[in-house]
Structure formats: C-alpha cells, structure tokens
C-alpha cells in the first residue's frame, strides 16, 4: 500500500509540473494568452533575497510570501486595529497580562499534507529566535527566550512576554509576515543537515506553508509561479495559479499590460499610471502606503559622522522637485518617520531647499569646499531619478555625488551590513503601531551585533541611548495622550539630529486590466492577499 501511495503522489506531482510547463511554454512562445484561471503580475522581483520566513523583511518578498505562509492572527481588510483569527481560532491572556494562550485551529493542512498543530507553532517561533536574523527584533523585543513559547497540548500554545503588552501590539507582532509565519516542522526538519540544523538553505527557495497558494517555481529575477492549494482551510483560491514575471523596467511593464501579456503592472511610474485613469479596459488602484522614502547617511563614517553635515544635506534637497516633479504627486509630503494617518504622526516639515544655509553648515562642519561621496540606489527608475535630483542639488553646495545603481537584493545585503555611506531607500511599517517605526528609525545604543534592534538607526550607526530609552518607554505607555507626546518628541530629535532626510510618504499605485476583480491593496503592501482575486475573462 505504501508503494502505491508513493506512486500516486509522484504521478500527481508529475501531472502538476507537466501542466505548468505546458501552460508557461505556450504562453511564453506567444501561442496562448494568459488563461482566465491564471493571474499574471509584472513586477520588479530583484529585491527578493530568499523566502525563508526567518529572513523575509523586504516588502515585495513579504507580499509574495503572504500567499503561502500564515500566522496565528490576522486583521480585517482595511482596518489594522481589528484583529481576526488566523491559525489560532481564539486566545486569552492571563490576569497579570504576561501569558497569552492560543488555541490552534484544527483541520489546517500544510501543503505537504501534514496537519498543522501546536508543535509547528512552537518550532516556527523558536526557529526564528534561534536563527537570529535581522527581523527577529520584532518578536524578541517581547519574547526573547525560546522557552517562553510552550506547547500545552496538541492544539494549545502559550507565549509569555517580558512585560504586559496590549492586545493590538502582540497581535501585530504575531501577525507579522516572516519571522512569525508558521512552517511545517516535519518537512523542514527533513531538510536539515548537521551544518544547517534549521534548513535555512532549503527554505530559501522552497515553501513549507499552509496558505492558499504553493510556491512551485522560483527562478531568480525571472519568474515566480504559485499554484492553488485546494485543501486550504478557508476554501480554494479563485484562480488556479499566480505567475509573477520579473519585468524591472516600468516601460516594459506598461507594454506587457497594454498587450494583455500581464493582468497587473506592479511598478509603473506615476506619469504612466495617469495614462490609465480614463482608459477603457483598465483600472487604477491606489492607497496611501504606510511607508517612508528617505535618504540615509551613515553616521559612523565621515563626513556624515558630523551632524552639521547631515543637517546641510537636509537643507540642500529640493523636496518639491521630488514630490511634484519626479513623483508627479504620487507622494504625500512629510519629513517625520511616522506617516500621515498613523497614530503619533508629527505634521512638521521644517526643511526646504536653502542653499546658502546648507553652505554655511558645511563650512562650520569643516567642509567649505564640499566633498565627494557615493550615493547608492536600487535600479528602480523612480529611485534613480531621485538620486539624480539629489546629485544636482548637492552640486550646488560643492558636494560631488557619484551614483551607484544595483539590484535590490545586492543593495539590501550591503545596507544590512552597514557597508554604505550614503543611499536612497524606502521603509514600510511592519505593523500598525508607531512602535513599528520608532524602533527601526530611532533605536540604537550600540553599532555591534549585540544590538537589541538592528534596523535603520543601527544600519546607519546612529547611536542615541537617551532616545532609545524613550522609544522603549513609549511602546509601554498605555495613556494615549502621553504616548502621542512621546512620539512627537522622538520624531523631533531624529528630525533635528538623525541620519535621515525623509523625502515623502508614498502613494501606492498599481494598474490592472478591468477583468481582475476582488483585489484589495493594503496600506501595508505585504498584507495584500490574492486568495479572493479572480478574473472575468
């Protein structure tokens, strides 16, 4: 019997692979249009480093992983203040506010066919803590010790925090796509080796999830193929497969959309998006993204170790030229790290282009004749355009900027390693709370690997222990008015002395054929789900 089952399983997999190959083959050779049961997205996929949940941190990577990994809790569409059950169907907290008990939903299947149970939840969270990759601060700030995660029985798990945490905060953390995603422990263990006990290498390119889609193919910077998981506990997805084609050039994305080769263009430029607003057969979908586009200056390296130099850069930039010229208004003005619409936003924009003031600051800093510096950027056209604008702006104060472009994966590997001096980048809130931005932008007491939070302040070697303490206090404050004032103070400190020039808050835009229905674009892009998306033709 075992042999027969193995043969049937092999034959089923073989049929699936052959089917995918035939569909893709016909499509790529121009013999067939994308079928109605297949959603085709054109996107810039070069940012993807790998798909191991313990490492996932870039927005687009998390969006893709959202389709095949799940977490204990979820949120209502469009409202990140309303918590919904996920893998956990219910939960409760102890009287002292420290121990959370999660009751795991029965009947959930992994893509392998294994049942999801308490062992998988415990293994997944402990695995992320053990691997200790950069995103782990999100969980470790409240649950630093693997022993704080315990199995009670086959479908019950307790998680103990170091201090009482509000329900929305703990839900936001445990609902994070990446380090808190639940993996198939039996499958992952089967691919572990003595040198790689957590199967990190295998999980980089494979999925071990329970979501509505399965990752069946990923060719780096070429294509991602997701197949519907028919045994998904909420019911099968409405499309059979999702194909994400790597099309890094927005002009090529537009051409593919116009020809009908793709259903959704993920990375069009603002001026391209405007062409579709009244175009028959297309639909523009947009939402304010809880994100920040910024310039980073490594405060651990000359000349940016001098705060006067950092301030000079902020006064030299033409913000309006970027917002209204390059972004064509697809950006919301703002210079503080908590975006408009989120609790704690400080609506102060003190900086504008003032060349004489910037020159005086450079002279006071000891650079009367300016300096040379390399500005890193990904190869995204909008980022390259922003870098070019900054290059022109800084030339007016004697700073010679050399622009270096690279693919996203290479860019973020370098940035994570603190090996940059000057760059243009973007950041999005990990969860719907100001703490999700205060810790990355303002928390750093040491630049070494022992740092509690190894994110943007750490990457840019911006050490400010007093502000870091205030960040931690604000996260615990239960009085909303007091908490808001604390975040105002934190933002003012970073605005004045920090290693950033915040340029704007992005307005997220995509364009799709009007046959695509059921897509809700989340404020935090990585929560955008494709499970309910379908096509009418």
Best-predicted range by mean pLDDT among 2-11, 444-453, 497-506?
497-506
The closest of 111, 108, 73 to 234, measured between CA atoms, is 108
The order of strands in the sheet holding 156-160 is 88-93, 99-104, 156-160, 149-153
**How is domain 291-507 classified at the CATH fold level?**
Dipeptide-binding Protein; domain 3 (3.10.105)
How do residues 38-71 score in pLDDT, each as one tens digit? 999 999 998 898 999 999 988 899 999 999 999 9
What does the pLDDT look like over 465-486, one tens digit per residue? 999 999 999 988 878 899 999 9
For residue 279, the number of C-alpha atoms closer than 13 Å in the C-beta half-sphere is 16
* pLDDT tens by residue, 484-512: 999 999 999 999 999 999 999 999 999 99
Please report the DSSP string for 275-297 in residue order. TTTT-TTEEEEEEE-SEEEEEEE
The predicted structure's pLDDT at residue 251: 95
Quote the pLDDT of residue 24. 52
Do 184 and 110 form a contact (C-beta atoms < 8 A)? yes
Answer whether 269's CB lies under 8 Å from 382's CB.
Answer: yes
What is the per-residue pLDDT for 47? 87
Are 234 and 212 in contact by the 8 Å Cβ rule? The answer is yes
Whether pLDDT at 1 is above 50: no
pTM confidence score: 0.77
Over residues 308-313, the mean pLDDT reads 99
Question: Is 191 within 8 Å of 202 (Cβ atoms)?
Answer: yes
CATH 3.40.190.10 fits 213-287+508-535, yes or no: yes
What's the token pair of residue 423? 């760059």
252 is written with which tokens?
């090529």
User: For residue range 360-400, what is the model confidence (pLDDT) as tens digits?
Assistant: 999 999 999 999 999 999 998 899 999 999 999 999 999 99
pLDDT at 430 (0 to 100): 81
Cα dist. 146→80, 160, 201, 431, 467 in Å? 27, 10, 22, 22, 28
Average pLDDT score over the chain: 92
Do domains 213-287+508-535 and 291-507 share one topology? The answer is no
pLDDT at site 8: 42
Q: What is the pLDDT of residues 412-445, one digit of tens each?
A: 999 999 999 999 999 988 887 899 999 999 999 9
CA dist 386 → 59, 317, 318, 443 (Å):
20, 10, 10, 27
Give the per-residue pLDDT at 178: 94
The answer to whether the CB of 491 falls within 8 A of the CB of 467 is no
Tokens matching residue 89: 């169907």
Mean pLDDT to the nearest integer, 182-200: 98
pLDDT at 31 over 90: no
* Burial group, residue 174, by CB count within 10 angstroms (0-12, 13-18, 19+): buried
Contact, 164 vs 140, CB < 8 A? no
Q: Is the pLDDT of residue 299 over 60?
A: yes
What does the pLDDT read at residue 432? 79
CA atoms of 153 and 161, how far apart (whole Å): 20
Per-residue pLDDT averaged across 84-105, rounded? 96
Identify the pLDDT of residue 168: 82
222 C-beta neighbours (distance < 10 Å), count: 11
Do residues 210 and 115 lie in contact, with contact meaning Cβ atoms separated by under 8 Å? no
CA dihedral 159, 160, 163, 164 (to 10 degrees): 60
The helix-helix angle for 381-395 and 307-316 (nearest 10°) equals 110
Q: What is the pLDDT of residue 433?
A: 84
Q: How far are the Cα atoms of 54, 159, 175 from residue 184, in angstroms, in the given order?
A: 14, 19, 17
Please tell me the number of Cα atoms within 13 Å of 464 on its side-chain side.
26
Mean per-residue pLDDT, 151-161? 98
Q: What size, in residues, is the chain?
A: 537
| Lookup result for tokens 């893509």 | 111
Look at residue 45 in the predicted model and tell me its pLDDT: 95
Q: State phi, psi for 354 to the nearest 5 degrees.
A: -140, 90
pLDDT band at 409 (very low <50, low <70, confident <90, very high): confident
Are residues 523 and 291 in contact, defined by beta-carbon separation less than 8 angstroms? Answer: no
Residue 107 to residue 179: CA distance in whole angstroms: 23
Q: What is the pLDDT of residue 33?
A: 67
Asked whether the beta carbons of 27 and 223 are under 8 A apart, the reply is no
User: Percent of the chain having pLDDT more than 70?
Assistant: 94
CB 263 within 8 A of CB 513: yes
What is the domain partition of the chain in residue ranges?
Answer: 213-287+508-535, 291-507
């Amino acid at each position: 019997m075992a042999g027969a089952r193995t043969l049937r399983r092999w034959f089923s997999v073989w049929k699936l692979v052959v089917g995918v190959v035939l569909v893709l083959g016909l499509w790529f050779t121009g013999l067939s249009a994308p079928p109605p049961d297949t959603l085709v997205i054109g996107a810039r996929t070069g940012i993807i480093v790998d798909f191991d949940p313990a490492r996932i941190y870039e927005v687009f990577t998390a969006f893709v992983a959202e389709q095949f990994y799940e977490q204990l809790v979820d949120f209502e569409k469009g409202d990140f203040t309303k918590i919904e059950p996920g893998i956990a169907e219910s939960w409760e907290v102890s009287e002292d506010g420290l121990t959370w008990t999660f009751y795991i939903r029965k009947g959930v299947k992994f893509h392998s066919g294994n049942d999801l149970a308490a062992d998988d939840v415990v293994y997944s969270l402990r695995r992320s803590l053990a691997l200790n990759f950069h995103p782990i601060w999100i969980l470790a700030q409240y649950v630093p010790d693997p022993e704080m995660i315990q199995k009670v029985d086959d479908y019950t798990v307790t998680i103990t925090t170091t201090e009482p945490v509000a329900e929305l905060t703990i839900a936001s953390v445990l609902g994070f796509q990446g380090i808190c995603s639940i993996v198939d422990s039996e499958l992952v263990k089967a691919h572990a080796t003595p040198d790689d006990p957590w199967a990190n290498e295998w999980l980089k390119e494979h999925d071990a999830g329970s979501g509505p889609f399965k990752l069946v193919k990923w060719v780096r910077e070429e294509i991602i193929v997701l197949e519907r998981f028919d045994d998904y506990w909420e019911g099968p997805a409405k499309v059979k497969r999702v194909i994400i084609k790597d099309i890094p050039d927005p002009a090529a994305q537009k051409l593919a959309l116009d020809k009908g080769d793709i259903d959704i263009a993920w990375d069009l430029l603002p001026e391209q998006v405007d062409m579709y607003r009244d175009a028959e057969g297309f639909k523009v979908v947009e939402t304010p993204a809880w994100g920040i586009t910024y310039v980073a200056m490594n405060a651990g390296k000359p000349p940016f170790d001098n705060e006067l130099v950092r301030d000079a850069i902020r006064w030299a930039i033409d913000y309006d030229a970027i917002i209204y010229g390059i972004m064509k208004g697809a950006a919301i003005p703002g210079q503080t790290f908590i975006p408009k619409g989120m609790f704690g936003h400080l609506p102060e924009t003190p900086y504008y282009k003032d060349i004489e003031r910037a020159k005086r600051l450079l002279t006071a800093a000891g650079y009367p004749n300016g300096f040379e510096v390399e500005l890193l950027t990904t190869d995204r056209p909008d980022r390259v355009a922003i870098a070019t604008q900054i290059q022109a702006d800084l030339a007016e104060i004697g700073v010679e900027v050399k622009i270096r472009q690279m693919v996203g994966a290479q860019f973020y590997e370098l940035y994570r390693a603190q090996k940059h001096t000057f760059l243009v980048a973007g950041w999005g809130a990990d969860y719907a709370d100001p703490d999700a931005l205060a810790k990355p932008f303002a928390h750093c007491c040491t630049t070494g690997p022992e740092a509690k939070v190894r994110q943007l302040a750490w990457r840019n070697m911006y050490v400010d222990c007093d502000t870091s303490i205030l960040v931690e206090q604000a996260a615990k404050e239960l009085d909303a008015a007091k908490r808001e004032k604390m975040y105002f103070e934190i933002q003012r400190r970073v605005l004045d002395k920090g290693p950033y020039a915040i340029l704007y808050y992005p307005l997220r835009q995509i364009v799709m054929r009007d046959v695509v229905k059921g897509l809700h674009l989340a404020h935090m892009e990585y929560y955008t789900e494709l499970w309910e998306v379908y096509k009418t033709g």
